Structure 1
Amino acid sequence: MEHSLFTPLSSKIGHKLICNKNEKPPKSKTIVLDLENTLVYSSSTLIPHYDYTISVRGHQEHSTPSTITFYVQKRPALDFLMAELVRNKYEIIIFTSATKEYADAILDKLQVHNHKAPHIDIRLYRDSCLSNKDGYVKDITGLGKDLKNIMIVDDNAASYKLQPENAFPVKPFCGDLNDRELCRVIDFSMIAAASSDVRETIRIYLAMSGSNNLEYEFLRGRQRELQTIVPEKKIIVLELMDTLVKRSKEVMQCGHDFTVPVRINGELCMTYIQKRPGLDNLLAELEQNYEIVLYTRYTREQADPVLDKLDIGFYLNRRLYRDNCQGSGLCKDIGVLNKDLNLDANVKNVVFVDCDASAFQHHPYNGFLLNPFQDDNPLDIELCKLKGFCKWAYLYDDVREAIVNFNRNGARRRVSYFR
């Protein structure tokens, strides 16, 4: 008989969460946590730093009916993680490949209550897993929830092979007292709680962290309590040429997105324009939390034909041109944003994005420097990095601090291309 996860989950969970009108409304985000080697480490032999013991009959490979004692060690920061997940209004599901008797023995001693709400909402065991040659696989589609709101935390990649885009991988825990993986989970969960799609947030985080070892202090900074405080909109100031697009009078090697007639040195030329990879998605994301200002060193006559075709979604709130730049170096100044656009701009809430550091030399600590866009590099990921940074910077009281932390923690190193 084919083993399907939908039957046990619809009977065990669906009625509880959906059909019972007396229960509280479902929480907006769900976190699915593995147990063994993710939250705890257990052994039938004595371990140096165990927190408690459990007694189980006939656990897993043991076929004898005798009672076996297991020594259980909680992963560092586990209690803090569970408390933070409750504060950030996560639905918490423990989904383990262990047997029910063994898992319940661990969880019953682990679980505590906070304001009458249990830390663990649902427990799922081995009988809810799919079994194949790789072991036990957890199929979260049977939860009946939108996958964009589900985050999996597991040390075994084979467990989440059906939904890898939902997974936040952690290293296996084997009793190391200096382990800090759950600190990463805590900080990432605070960001994911406010995201529209946790899968996209996971992709950005893991790509920015390269090998999945981004220091957890990177996200701590001055984070706000997401469930109670909504940060005010910040201002992002974008350059156009060589930052968002590449232009050329000649046909580009990698093709172009559109053409525009532009007057260059008095001559009307047909110009080929190529958008930087990820540009459309970047603008759509930024609009949610940022006032977007296009501030270019090019003239209105040169920039507007490009912008009119580029900004079909009307994401750009304001446009500034060469005549708004300062001095012979054509520098960009926050004072211009207030004077010419009547924006409430100050050094704490403005990010300048440019491929030329001299453009923001008046405000060097507000500058986010990108590598120039080269049309022969189809694997350019600069805007993906920028989008990831903007998600974190939005949570800071002062964007300058976010920029310093971002650069100091090495998050801007090159990583493999991702979508």
Structure 2
Amino acid sequence: MFTSAPPDVDLALVGGGGAASLVLAALDRHGVRDLRIAVVDPVHRRGQDRTWAFWDRPGGDLDPLLAASWHQVEVVTTAGRRVLDLAPLRYAMLRSGPVYDRAAEAERRLGVRRIVAPVDALHDDGSQVTVRVGEGGQVLRAAWVLDSRPRPPRRPGRTNWLQHFRGWWLESGVPVFDPARAVLMDFRTPQPARGVSFGYVLPVDDRHALVEYTEFSPDLLTGPGYDAALAGYRDLLGLEPARLTVREVENGVIPMTDGPFDARPSPRVVRLGTAGGATRPSTGFTFSAMHRQAEQVARALAAGRPPVPGPAYPRRHRWMDAVALRALDAGAVAGPDFFDRLFARNPAERVLRFLDGATTPVEEFAVMSSTRLPPMIAATAGDAVARLRDRLGPARRPAPRGGTTGSARPSG
């Protein structure tokens, strides 16, 4: 009887960005030393190519790597400035360089084999996965594959938006930033005809900060369009261009869609990051779920179980996101009003846990009740009709664009 050759490795990480780096660090932290591991990616990532922002409790494994953190943040609208106390949580900023450095140290301790080449195809026969690498047709056999490459959803969503942004790392010749507070959302920016825009400020100290312009909308801007929006926001903040130097520029595009992502496309292939459903459709935040996935994978492997994390968010949260996206897309609710009411009528810590998928149904009812109910009820009814229509015969929709690059709103 024919038997296939044994696997070359126990675990292959296809894609070597943030998701894979977090997995390697978690495996090292949990003392997993008996696995044969390979990383396959055409780029060996190093240095600062992106920034992640997220909230968590102090005292975690990422604390030594943080560029900055804040226990207070501001949400600003044309009506005024709201200062939010996040305790017991904090808002944190993490640059990619320390993450990649920690992953490189983990690679050395774990004896990881690195293949700097693209993956052409994955073939899962149920007992192992054949990974075809590069143009030369090199083959790697893996017992399990964790694939973090950007992928579209299994089917297009009913609503397909993008979170897209550009940020400037600014250095000032004089103190101009308040390092004690981050600006989480500043809605005083000109609002697009269809969508939501806001600026935010992540200060490292009183002379250095990441200042960013973000849109939630169906369409991208041009390069000059982002620069003009950023310049306008800089002026809105009262920052003098003559005293500022742009040290780095970051750009990103993250899908905001209710289309389903296939977290396990075959028995032994598991997707992580955005491709594995880690991006929250209503906000674009990804990092916290990506970090949870890495921790779950490492704990499973340390216990001798398959490296399969749980769903990134509860099903009811994905439904609530679909309803919120529909209401925003239809213009039934204004984005600034929607987010401002969430923070005005709930403790900030509850809103952040809600956005992380970590609230109870009772808390979720309180959060959703703080929105304007008539348009949300209409969006709920519209979503129900659309789901029924899909079951009877899905219509063809344009596939959503997206992926992630250099992201200050966490990416995969």
TM-score of Structure 1 vs Structure 2, range by shorter chain: under 0.3
**TM-score, scaled relative to structure 2:** 0.24
**TM-score, scaled relative to structure 1:** 0.24
Relative CO higher for 1 or 2, CA cutoff 8 Å, sep ≥ 6?
A: 2
